[in-house]
Amino acid sequence: MKQELRIFFTALMFYTRIPCPSWVDHSPDYINKATRYFPLIGWIVGGVSFAAYFLFSFLFTIQIGVVASLVAGVLVTGAFHEDGLADVYDGFGGGWTKAKILEIMKDSRVGTYGVAALVFLFLTKYLLLTQWITTASEAWLVVLLAFLSYHSLARLTAINMVFTTEYAREDEQSKAKPIAKAHGPREILGAWFFGLAPLAGLAAFHWQYALVILPLPLLLYFSRRYFIKWIGGYTGDCLGAVEQLAECLVLATLFVLWKFM
């Protein structure tokens, strides 16, 4: 139990800015095992985002509440995944060889491609969330489960990249390297359980919402194929990009399902 608690706090420290006990460190072994809790971190981020939405929509409007939820998500994670998305768009937009792409992605500066990607990312999330919440008029518990689901499913999609793809960099400088070394049944089963549990709750209200998972394997397949073609595998930035694209895809599918169900 104590070991599992340490693994969980390692995941919390690695993937968020939430303060953790002083006895938690960046041990490669524990970071590797922490993959099982990556989708569970989605519960936390989704819960904080929903709390921000609930408070600000009560005080102001739904639109302001949605903006507050997006801001809360960025603050909790330190823009961890958004940074990866921007780096991927800069790297693949400006590089034509594996070495150049990896070099650009490692640069801490954000370029034109990255800025454009972030603008479209947040605009897409804002419009999809606002439209679904205002037109669907679901109960607050359904909205909460939707927040938890789109965060957990997106992280499950990203971690599946780790389970199925080789790491691209040949150096040891990336923080994502430890999670690429090994993973066992506990990591895979744990990730899938925490990734799917909120969706199961959401589907209990409307079974059609369970179908939001269907486009995610396609995103994983084409992302994996693209990354392997150009750089021979994935990097931590690639995982961040897949996670953010998966969030948008889940929200888009959620809205389409509601519209036609």
Q: Which of 135, 28, 41 is CA-nearest to residue 81? A: 41
* pLDDT at residue 138 greater than cutoff 60: yes
Token output for 64: 């302001």
**DSSP code per residue over 30-54:** HHHHGGGGHHHHHHHHHHHHHHHHH
What's the whole-number mean pLDDT along residues 32-47?
94
- The pLDDT of residue 208 is 94
Round to whole Å and give the CA distance between 41 and 54.
20
End-to-end CA distance of the chain: 43
Round to whole Å and give the CA distance between 243 and 154.
5
Round to whole Å and give the CA distance between 213 and 245.
13
Q: Which of 32, 104, 114, 50 is CA-nearest to residue 79? A: 114
173 or 74, higher pLDDT: 74
Burial class (CB in 10 A: 0-12, 13-18, 19+), 40: buried
How many residues appear in the chain? 261
User: Do the Cβ atoms of 166 and 219 come closer than 8 Å?
Assistant: no
Sign of CA dihedral 51, 57, 60, 62: positive
Confidence of residue 179 (pLDDT cuts 50, 70, 90): low
Confidence of residue 182 (pLDDT cuts 50, 70, 90): low
Half-sphere exposure of 66 (CA within 13 A, CB side): 18
Per-residue model confidence as pLDDT tens digits over 47-64: 999 999 999 999 999 999
- The pLDDT of residue 25 is 79
Round to whole Å and give the CA distance between 29 and 98.
28
Round to whole Å and give the CA distance between 170 and 113.
25
The distance of Cα 157 from the centroid of its chain, to the nearest Å, equals 8
